[in-house]
Chain A
Amino acid sequence: GQQLNQSPQSMFIQEGEDVSMNCTSSSIFNTWLWYKQDPGEGPVLLIALYKAGELTSNGRLTAQFGITRKDSFLNISASIPSDVGIYFCAGRTGGSGNTGKLIFGQGTTLQVKP
């Protein structure tokens, strides 16, 4: 099935470092979402973006909806150990009759260097 291209696939960071990840698509989306998934749990919504160019923050997290509507970025500032996990981008197309189903990226695994 269709998936978004998410990068990097994984990253090791030092506590306190800033983190960036991005997601691209060949299709236009009218909504971009960023989720975090911990082992054995379902994805939890971090940030939702609804307009091209929109920049939204949630604590140390900042995400942007690309102006082409084909990409999105997530930044985490001053990472802490509990940031470890898998981050997924998800997009949703618009139009009448659309059910609202989400298309997900492959995920970025964030690990903190000991």
Chain B
Amino acid sequence: GAGVSQSPRYKVAKRGQDVALRCDPISGHVSLFWYQQALGQGPEFLTYFQNEAQLDKSGLPSDRFFAERPEGSVSTLKIQRTQQEDSAVYLCASSLVPGQGVYEQYFGPGTRLTVT
């Protein structure tokens, strides 16, 4: 079946622009995670949704970052007034059940954001 998809795959933004990154999780997956991966580093947690509820946003680096999942399926990560330090790959992952358990997270291909 279809995996996690993300769009766009690549995004170039001028500093100060707003961007919106989309994630389509695997159908029926309750949990959805966003991670940020800087060049040469491992992914770092940004935020977590269980259905439409955002239960953990402790990893969002500033109030310029905002995520939503209004109908419990597709999610959008929005970054306002982008800065150069926002340049990274943004990964989305989904899993069948909330949080714990043997149903692990499946990752999308990521969106590479470059802020110039």
Contacts and interface: CB of A to CB of B under 8 A. Distances in A.
Interface stretch (A12-20, A38-46, A61-69): A38-46
A104 B42 contact: yes
B102 A101 contact: no
B75 to A, nearest CB: 15
Contacts of A98: 99-100
Interface in B10-56: 31, 33, 35, 40-45, 48, 50, 55-56
B20 to A, nearest CB: 19
Contacts of B101: 100
Interface string B76-116: 00000000000000010101001111101111111000000
B44 A3 contact: yes
Contacts, number: 76
Interface size class on chain B is: 20 to 34
B59 interface: yes
Nearest to B98: A100
B4 interface: yes
A45 B99 contact: no
Contacts of A102: 33, 35, 43, 45, 105
Interface of A: 1, 3-4, 6, 31, 33, 35, 40-45, 48, 50, 88, 90, 92, 94, 98-107
Interface of B: 4, 31, 33, 35, 40-45, 48, 50, 55-56, 59, 91, 93, 95, 98-102, 104-110
12 contacts: A42-B91, A42-B110, A45-B105, A48-B104, A50-B102, A98-B99, A100-B33, A100-B95, A100-B98, A101-B48, A102-B45, A104-B44
